[in-house]
């Protein structure tokens, strides 16, 4: 559950009561582009990525052009240093993506420090890999309301999630749901994350996002995140779903672990996943 | 205030006492109550003028007056707007009681109105920065969905700003919405809104009198920084049974009042409920919304010396979505009052007050079901005394004790299989003692002073645990270093503050006066909200180990002038207000269900200044007012907006309002209001960036750096009172309202999203757009009212 639910409720109520909307043009001032850094180290033995780009004007169109001349390393608390190279396979959309030269698996409990050097500017961030609980199982269930009145024809199965939440540790989670190997979001501003403040031990049959049709493959990835990561995703969610500050807090940049006022986040996670075919 | 100043102040007060004893021996007292001749309701603010001595007083908020005069023959003139003036010849040879009934003024529409007030309150009264609301006029004004609402009229007053239409919040002289003390029959109302602010909780049928203090606040009021809105309900007609009912577009009302024992005791009961949900239910709609209000009051006038009142208000909003999901909130207040005359000159009002605000949210689901509740209670004892020393001095003093309990949140599972645990944020408790004394002294015929002070002793008490932090301002890496345990009622923190109050009025000539005032206000209850407009789900916190009391100092100066035999009242006022420790919160603060809430507190400075013009016409066929306000409000808070000053969310540079009603003939009267203001600031993105392949994120460079478009709206109304059938005991009227007559799309807020087409499909995942929400297009409504 998310604490921003209250703001959403208010918005919902306002929408129910009245409301008309139109697109308006903001006369926004020119500001210097900001460096945006995004990186992920997990406990999987793969080449991990870091992406570097710059912010654009609000009304600019098109995808972002990546920054290609950054020097990037990740160092763990054992002194291992991993160098990153820009788009080693020269992938078409790989501009701004850097991969670690070698595959490596992050260690649970270890701290990872990212250093991005861009000309004379240095950006650093540190995160820790927290343990993640196991996914006990996934289960397919027919949602009767959706069956009676499906939003999309044929899509009325939901995927239920089962796990045990460790009660003696403070844990934070980020979830990614895939429908037939593509990331699924209920709305384009959804982020699925949780803390365990209010959770009991038994997570029995909580539905994941979205509905599935027969033959679909569902995959759930659960990432452990640090408190810093939870704060980042919570802030990001609040910003993406802001009402402009009428009832919700004034929009603000998410609190990041990156130094030197860079936008984005460097995340270290343990990940578990499970998948199921709807049949 | 430094101790030396306090000593001086006490010294002056003792001088006043001394002067009294040397002068007062040869005097007798006239006192009594003033009442409406038709209903027996006590009348507030009736001018009582002694023609021979050219001195006067006004009835207090309970309708009581007292004058001490040397023996002699006098002409007493009792006058009040909307009532016929009553003149009494008296021969004063002993202490006397005169209860006076004032007949309602029947204005013949052809007559040219000449105000017969011998003295006019606008110019002569010491109070400044204060607005009274004429409830009869409010009922004739155009209203959203035909629901007359005093808060919507308050939002038109000079020095008052609104964040946008459809909200019941108002912002007085640079103060935020939680800095207004809103009282119904002396009980505080913590959230005065229905339907997230579309309407206020005040049902116009039961309101007798309401006034707003924006500055020069008398010492008897305290607790909030920026304003006092005091709403008093009717006591109930003690002469005959009567009532009123109304059927509106959105809600219906009824009210019944009458004597229990004639002239001794009476009651009033009133209810209001919205009924859109009943139609929707009939239409098979599952999302149901409704609100209701109940006001009830009884009083018993045992004799002139002892009068008892009991008043109750309860109101609630209920939202239900699809049977599984719902939330509700509401206020309950109760007041018991005892008016007692200790002697001819010492009037006492003793009150016991309770106020409760709570909200609940419930999600009914086998796996994710939970209920969330939060509430706060306030219990007060108040002893307020008026001592009518002599014709030149009127003392007010008293003691207030308040106990508050805050329960910020409790979450519990609604089924055994729920993934949620029961969790509760610990309660906060506070004790608040206040002692005040003030004197209104007519120094000379021209100069009147009002001075006083309020001593506030506020204690945050247990039972509670206070966490100590390595860095209390670090809301990311929260490191608790220790926990302090406090027992039941054990003091956690005590804050003592002295609030000096001062006002002076100098008569330039009988038509004009100059007034100045200074007041310090202290606020020890803090709204935990970072939005512009409070929502009912906000919680409150007392000043505590971490939160310091908010302090406001305000100076104001004003020129008051009447024209055309007091029928036109004009004023111009200017103020400067400085707030220390204004409560704000860190960027991205998590204010709900946060056990480490202190790490989100950011207190800083706020300052505001402005110029306000007001022209008002209270009598005649045409009544109304025009107001203009120029003001600016800024804040500077360490840790917010990179510690740079920023405009307050509710800052508007220019606000112009005009409100009027015109009685054409006995059948028709017309009302209109127009408001224009420059836009309020809002935070908009300076750029965008992509995160995680899917999220298009706004880049924010500064807080409140963008102004919403200008706001303006015209509302019109017409009231039809069909000719009364002589045999009929009841009369009826129709009120036709046109809200937003030219359908202006006024900005409520602006948010951003990915570019979408009309169906809501995303057209380009790499283009963002800004969307402006506006609430109401032109909205006609009809209300049918009957009175019997």
Nearest to B71 by CA among B48, B95, B37: B95
Rounded to an integer, the average pLDDT of A245-256 is 90
DSSP code at position A234 = H
Give the pairing type, strands B96-97 and B28-36. parallel
- On whether both B176 and B32 belong to a single domain, the answer is no
What pLDDT, on the 0 to 100 scale, is given for residue B164? 85
Q: Is the pLDDT of residue B542 over 90?
A: yes
> Higher model confidence: residue B199 or residue A235?
A235
For residue B498, being part of any structural domain is answered with: yes
What pLDDT, on the 0 to 100 scale, is given for residue B22? 46
DSSP code at position B177 = G
Q: What burial class does residue A134 get, using C-beta atoms within 10 Å of its C-beta: 0-12 exposed, 13-18 middle, 19+ buried?
A: exposed
Q: Spell out which residues of chain B touch residue A245, defining contact as CB-CB under 8 Å.
A: 531-532, 649, 682-683, 749
CB A275, CB A143: distance < 8 Å = no
Exposure on the CB side of residue B367, measured as CA atoms within 13 A: 12
Rounded to an integer, the average pLDDT of A43-56 is 95
- On whether both B517 and B630 belong to a single domain, the answer is yes
What pLDDT, on the 0 to 100 scale, is given for residue A4? 57
What pLDDT, on the 0 to 100 scale, is given for residue B180? 96
CB B68, CB B388: distance < 8 Å = yes
Q: What is the CATH number of the domain that holds B318?
A: 2.40.170.20
Exposure on the CB side of residue B308, measured as CA atoms within 13 A: 6
Last residue of a domain, one of B188, B208, B230: B230
Q: pLDDT grade, residue A16 (50/70/90)?
A: low
Question: From the candidates A63, A91, A167, A246, which should be mutated to test the interface with B, based on the most B CB atoms within 10 A?
Answer: A246
Question: From the candidates A18, A52, A232, which should be mutated to test the interface with B, based on the most B CB atoms within 10 A?
Answer: A18
Q: Where are the beta strands (DSSP E) in B391-511?
A: 393-413, 423-425, 428-442, 447-461, 464-469, 480-486, 491-509
Q: Is the pLDDT of residue A61 over 80?
A: yes
| Closest CB to B196 among A10, A21, A248 | A10
Say yes or no for a CB contact (<8 Å) between B361 and A6.
yes
Nearest CA of chain A to the CA of B512: how many Å?
Answer: 42
For residue B749, being part of any structural domain is answered with: yes
- List the single residue in A with minimal CA-CA distance to B758: A22
Give the pairing type, strands B72-79 and B47-50. antiparallel
- pLDDT one-digit tens code per residue, A73-111: 999 999 999 999 999 998 888 899 999 999 999 999 999
- pLDDT one-digit tens code per residue, B329-339: 999 999 999 99
- pLDDT one-digit tens code per residue, B729-779: 788 999 999 999 999 999 988 999 999 988 888 888 889 999 998 888 888
Last residue of a domain, one of B230, B246, B281: B230
ω into B463 cis (within 30 of 0): yes
- pLDDT one-digit tens code per residue, B61-75: 899 999 888 899 999
Nearest to B571 by CA among B78, B31, B121: B121
Exposure on the CB side of residue B160, measured as CA atoms within 13 A: 26
Q: What burial class does residue B198 get, using C-beta atoms within 10 Å of its C-beta: 0-12 exposed, 13-18 middle, 19+ buried?
A: buried
Nearest CA of chain B to the CA of A145: how many Å?
Answer: 11
CB A159, CB A146: distance < 8 Å = no
> Higher model confidence: residue B592 or residue A234?
A234
Q: pLDDT grade, residue B3 (50/70/90)?
A: very low
Of A87-91, B187-191, B426-430, B487-491, which range is least confident? A87-91
3 state SS for B80-107: CCCECCEEEEEEECCCEECCEEECECCC
Q: pLDDT grade, residue B385 (50/70/90)?
A: very high
| Closest CB to B697 among A165, A204, A240 | A240
- On whether both B155 and B296 belong to a single domain, the answer is no
Rounded to an integer, the average pLDDT of B478-503 is 96
Q: Spell out which residues of chain B touch residue A22, defining contact as CB-CB under 8 Å.
A: 745, 771-772, 774
Q: Where are the alpha helices (DSSP H) in B331-466?
A: none
Q: What's the Cα-to-Cα distance from B209 to each of B131, B184, B206, rounded to whole Å?
A: 11, 10, 9
Q: Where are the beta strands (DSSP E) in A70-216?
A: 71-76, 81-86, 97-100, 111-118, 121-128, 135-142, 157-164, 172-179, 182-183, 192-195, 202-207
What pLDDT, on the 0 to 100 scale, is given for residue B761? 86
- pLDDT one-digit tens code per residue, B560-580: 999 887 789 999 999 999 999
Rounded to an integer, the average pLDDT of B496-523 is 95
- On whether both B668 and B542 belong to a single domain, the answer is yes
- On whether both B351 and B392 belong to a single domain, the answer is yes
What pLDDT, on the 0 to 100 scale, is given for residue A1? 40
For residue B752, being part of any structural domain is answered with: yes
CB A41, CB A77: distance < 8 Å = no
Q: What is the CATH number of the domain that holds B8?
A: 2.60.40.1120
Give the pairing type, strands B325-343 and B346-363. antiparallel
Q: Is the pLDDT of residue A262 over 90?
A: yes
What pLDDT, on the 0 to 100 scale, is given for residue A8? 60
- On whether both B467 and B359 belong to a single domain, the answer is yes
Q: What's the Cα-to-Cα distance from B672 to each of B131, B137, B159, B660, rounded to whole Å?
A: 19, 11, 20, 6
- On whether both B237 and B191 belong to a single domain, the answer is no
Q: Is the pLDDT of residue B408 over 60?
A: yes
| Closest CB to A188 among B685, B706, B754 | B754
Compute the mean pLDDT over every residue in chain B, rounded to the nearest whole number: 89
Q: Where are the alpha helices (DSSP H) in B516-555?
A: none
Q: Is the pLDDT of residue B153 over 70?
A: yes
Last residue of a domain, one of B230, B255, B272: B230
What pLDDT, on the 0 to 100 scale, is given for residue B18? 44
- pLDDT one-digit tens code per residue, A101-125: 999 999 999 999 999 999 999 999 9
Task: Provide the number of structural domains found in chain B.
Answer: 3
What pLDDT, on the 0 to 100 scale, is given for residue B245? 93
Q: Is the pLDDT of residue B19 over 70?
A: no
Contacts of residue B670, defined as CB under 8 A and 6 or more positions apart, other chains included, come to B661, B662, B664, B716, B717, B718, B719
- On whether both B265 and B235 belong to a single domain, the answer is yes
Question: From the candidates B415, B425, B647, B697, which should be mutated to test the interface with A, based on the most A CB atoms within 10 A?
Answer: B697
* A-B contacts at Cβ under 8 angstroms: 244
- On whether both B192 and B312 belong to a single domain, the answer is no
> Higher model confidence: residue A150 or residue A56?
A56
CA distance B327 to A5: 12
Q: pLDDT grade, residue B13 (50/70/90)?
A: low
- pLDDT one-digit tens code per residue, A120-147: 999 999 999 999 999 999 999 988 888 8
Q: Could you tell me if the ipTM is greater than 0.90?
A: yes
- On whether both B617 and B742 belong to a single domain, the answer is yes
- pLDDT one-digit tens code per residue, B428-482: 999 999 999 999 999 988 999 999 999 999 999 999 999 999 999 999 889 999 9
Hey, how many other C-beta atoms are within 10 angstroms of the C-beta on A21? 14
For residue B125, being part of any structural domain is answered with: no
Of B3-7, B173-177, B654-658, B775-779, which range is least confident? B3-7
- pLDDT one-digit tens code per residue, B265-322: 999 999 999 887 766 666 666 667 889 999 999 999 998 899 999 999 999 999 887 7
Q: pLDDT grade, residue B111 (50/70/90)?
A: very low
Q: pLDDT grade, residue B24 (50/70/90)?
A: very low
| Residue-range definition of the domain harbouring residue B221 | 131-230
Hey, how many other C-beta atoms are within 10 angstroms of the C-beta on A169? 10
Q: Spell out which residues of chain A touch residue B774, defining contact as CB-CB under 8 Å.
A: 19-22
CB A259, CB A124: distance < 8 Å = yes
CA distance A196 to A187: 24
Q: Spell out which residues of chain B touch residue A269, defining contact as CB-CB under 8 Å.
A: none
| Closest CB to B685 among A53, A58, A205 | A58
Q: pLDDT grade, residue B26 (50/70/90)?
A: confident
Nearest CA of chain A to the CA of B23: how many Å?
Answer: 59
- List the single residue in A with minimal CA-CA distance to B367: A206
Q: What's the Cα-to-Cα distance from A247 to each of B98, B201, B505, B535, rounded to whole Å?
A: 53, 19, 41, 7
For residue B470, being part of any structural domain is answered with: yes
Contacts of residue A55, defined as CB under 8 A and 6 or more positions apart, other chains included, come to A33, A34, A36, A263, B687, B688, B689, B699
DSSP code at position B619 = S
Q: What is the DSSP string of B297-333?
A: EEEEEEETTEEEEEEEEEEEEEEEETTTEEEEEEEEE
Q: What percent of chain B has pLDDT over 90?
A: 60
What pLDDT, on the 0 to 100 scale, is given for residue A158? 92
- pLDDT one-digit tens code per residue, B667-677: 999 999 999 99
For residue B204, being part of any structural domain is answered with: yes
Question: From the candidates B168, B539, B644, B691, which should be mutated to test the interface with A, based on the most A CB atoms within 10 A?
Answer: B691
For residue B338, being part of any structural domain is answered with: yes
Compute the mean pLDDT over every residue in chain A, rounded to the nearest whole number: 90
Nearest to B622 by CA among B676, B660, B594, B655: B660
Of A3-17, A152-166, B622-636, which range is least confident? A3-17
CA distance B183 to B180: 9
Q: What is the CATH number of the domain that holds B193?
A: 2.170.130.10
Say yes or no for a CB contact (<8 Å) between A24 and B770.
yes
What pLDDT, on the 0 to 100 scale, is given for residue B286? 67
H helices, E strands: number in chain A: 3, 18
Q: pLDDT grade, residue B114 (50/70/90)?
A: very low
CB B71, CB B28: distance < 8 Å = yes
Q: pLDDT grade, residue B223 (50/70/90)?
A: very high
Contacts of residue B444, defined as CB under 8 A and 6 or more positions apart, other chains included, come to none
Q: pLDDT grade, residue B146 (50/70/90)?
A: confident
- On whether both B209 and B278 belong to a single domain, the answer is no
Say yes or no for a CB contact (<8 Å) between B476 and A227.
yes
CA distance A137 to B620: 79
Say yes or no for a CB contact (<8 Å) between B690 and A63.
yes
CA distance B377 to B406: 7
What pLDDT, on the 0 to 100 scale, is given for residue B283? 64
Q: Where are the alpha helices (DSSP H) in chain A?
A: 5-17, 144-148, 227-240
Q: What percent of chain B has pLDDT over 70?
A: 94
What pLDDT, on the 0 to 100 scale, is given for residue B467? 96
- On whether both B324 and B359 belong to a single domain, the answer is yes
> Higher model confidence: residue A46 or residue B418?
A46
For residue B123, being part of any structural domain is answered with: no
Q: Is the pLDDT of residue B117 over 70?
A: no
């Amino acid at each position: 559950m998310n604490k921003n639910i209250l703001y959403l409720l208010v918005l919902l109520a306002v929408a129910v009561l009245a409301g008309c909307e139109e697109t308006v043009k903001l006369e926004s001032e020119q500001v210097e582009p900001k460096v945006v850094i995004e990186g992920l180290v997990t406990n999987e033995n793969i080449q991990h990525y870091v992406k570097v780009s710059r912010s654009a004007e609000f009304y600019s169109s098109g995808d972002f052009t990546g920054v290609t001349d950054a020097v990037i390393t990740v160092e763990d608390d054992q002194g291992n240093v991993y160098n990153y190279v820009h788009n080693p396979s020269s992938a078409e959309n790989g501009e701004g993506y850097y991969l670690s030269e070698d595959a490596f698996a992050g260690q649970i409990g270890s701290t990872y420090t990212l250093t991005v050097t861009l000309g004379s500017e240095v950006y650093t961030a540190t995160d820790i890999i927290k343990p993640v609980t196991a996914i006990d199982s996934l289960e397919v269930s027919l949602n009767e309301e959706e069956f009676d009145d499906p939003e999309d024809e044929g899509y009325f199965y939901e995927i239920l999630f089962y796990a045990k939440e460790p009660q003696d540790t403070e844990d934070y989670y980020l979830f990614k749901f895939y429908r037939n190997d593509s990331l699924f979001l209920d709305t384009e501003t959804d982020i699925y994350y949780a803390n365990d403040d209010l959770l009991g031990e038994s997570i029995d049959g909580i539905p994941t996002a979205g509905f599935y049709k027969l033959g679909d493959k569902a995959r759930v990835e659960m990432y452990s995140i640090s408190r810093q990561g939870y704060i980042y995703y919570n802030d990001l969610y609040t910003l993406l779903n802001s009402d402009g500050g009428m009832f919700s807090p004034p929009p603000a940049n998410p609190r990041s672990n990156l130094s030197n006022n860079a936008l984005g986040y460097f995340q270290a996670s343990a990940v578990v996943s499970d998948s199921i075919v709807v049949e | 205030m430094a101790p030396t100043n306090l000593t001086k102040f006490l010294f002056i007060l003792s001088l006043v006492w001394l002067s009294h004893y040397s002068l007062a021996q040869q005097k007798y007292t006239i006192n009594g109550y003033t009442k409406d001749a038709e209903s027996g309701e006590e009348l507030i603010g009736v001018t009582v003028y002694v023609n021979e001595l050219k001195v006067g007083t006004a009835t207090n908020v309970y309708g009581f007056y007292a004058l001490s005069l040397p023996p002699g023959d006098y002409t007493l003139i009792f006058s009040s707007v909307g009532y016929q003036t009553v003149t009494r010849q008296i021969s004063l040879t002993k202490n006397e009681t005169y209860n006076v009934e004032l007949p309602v003024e029947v204005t013949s529409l052809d007559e040219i109105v000449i105000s017969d007030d011998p003295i006019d309150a606008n110019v002569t009264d010491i109070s400044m920065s204060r607005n009274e609301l004429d409830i009869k006029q409010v009922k004739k004004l155009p209203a959203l969905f035909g629901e007359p609402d005093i808060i919507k009229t308050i939002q038109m007053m000079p020095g008052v700003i609104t964040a946008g239409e459809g909200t019941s919040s108002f912002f007085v002289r640079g103060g935020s919405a939680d800095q207004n003390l809103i009282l119904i029959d002396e009980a505080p109302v913590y959230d005065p809104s229905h339907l997230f602010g579309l309407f206020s909780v005040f049902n116009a049928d039961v309101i007798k009198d309401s006034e707003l203090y924006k500055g020069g606040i008398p010492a008897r009021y305290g607790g909030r920084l920026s304003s006092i809105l005091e709403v008093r309900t009717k006591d109930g007609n003690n002469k005959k049974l009567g009532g009123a009912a109304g059927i509106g577009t959105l809600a219906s009302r009824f009210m019944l009042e009458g004597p229990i024992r004639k002239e001794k005791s009476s009651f009033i009961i009133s209810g209001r409920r919205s009924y859109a949900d009943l139609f929707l239910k009939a239409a098979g709609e599952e999302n149901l919304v409704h609100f209701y209000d109940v006001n009830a009051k009884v009083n018993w006038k045992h004799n002139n010396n002892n009068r008892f009142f009991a008043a109750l208000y309860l109101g609630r909003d209920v939202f239900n979505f699809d049977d599984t999901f719902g939330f509700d909130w509401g206020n309950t207040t109760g007041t018991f009052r005892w008016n007692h005359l200790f002697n001819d000159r010492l009037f006492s009002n003793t009150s016991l007050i309770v106020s409760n605000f709570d909200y609940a949210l419930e999600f009914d689901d086998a796996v994710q079901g939970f209920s969330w509740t939060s509430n706060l209670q306030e219990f007060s004892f108040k002893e307020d005394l008026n001592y009518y020393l002599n014709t030149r001095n009127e003392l007010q003093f008293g003691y207030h004790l308040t106990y508050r309990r805050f329960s910020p949140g409790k979450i519990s599972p609604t089924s055994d299989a729920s993934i949620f645990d029961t969790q509760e944020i610990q309660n906060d408790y506070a004790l608040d003692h206040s002692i005040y004394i003030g004197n209104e002294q007519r120094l000379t015929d021209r100069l009147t002073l009002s001075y006083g002070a309020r001593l506030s002793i506020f204690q945050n008490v247990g039972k509670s645990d206070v966490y100590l932090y390595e860095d209390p301002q670090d809301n990311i890496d929260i490191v608790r270093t220790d926990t302090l345990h406090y027992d039941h009622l054990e003091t956690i923190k005590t804050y003592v503050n002295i609030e000096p109050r001062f006002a002076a009025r100098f008569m330039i000539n009988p038509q004009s006066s100059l007034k100045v005032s200074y007041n310090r206000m202290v606020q020890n209850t803090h709204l935990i909200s970072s939005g512009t407009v409070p929502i009912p789900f906000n919680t409150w916190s007392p000043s505590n180990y971490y939160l310091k009391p908010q302090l406001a100092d305000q100076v104001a100066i004003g020129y008051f002038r009447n024209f055309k035999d007091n029928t036109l009242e004009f004023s111009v006022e200017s103020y400067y207000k400085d707030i220390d420790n204004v409560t704000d919160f860190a960027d991205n603060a998590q204010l709900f269900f946060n056990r480490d809430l202190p790490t989100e507190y950011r207190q800083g400075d706020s300052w505001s200044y402005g110029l306000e013009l007001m022209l008002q016409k209270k009598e005649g066929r045409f009544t109304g007012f025009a107001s203009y306000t120029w003001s600016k409000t800024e804040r500077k808070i360490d840790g917010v907006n990179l510690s740079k000053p920023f405009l307050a969310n509710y800052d508007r540079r220019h606000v112009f309002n005009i409100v009027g009603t015109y009685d054409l003939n006995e059948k028709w009267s017309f009302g209109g209001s127009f408001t224009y203001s420059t836009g309020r600031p809002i935070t908009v993105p300076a750029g965008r960036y992509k995160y995680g392949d899917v999220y298009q994120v706004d880049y924010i460079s500064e807080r409140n750096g963008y102004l919403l478009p200008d706001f303006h709206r015209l509302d019109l109304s017409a009231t039809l009172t069909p000719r009364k059938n002589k045999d009929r005991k009841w009369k009826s009227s129709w009120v036709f309202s046109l809200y937003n007559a030219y359908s202006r799309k006024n900005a409520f807020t602006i948010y951003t999203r990915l570019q979408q087409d009309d169906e809501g499909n995303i057209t380009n995942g790499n283009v963002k757009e800004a969307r402006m929400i506006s609430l109401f297009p032109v909205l006609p409504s009809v209300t049918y009212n009957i009175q019997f």
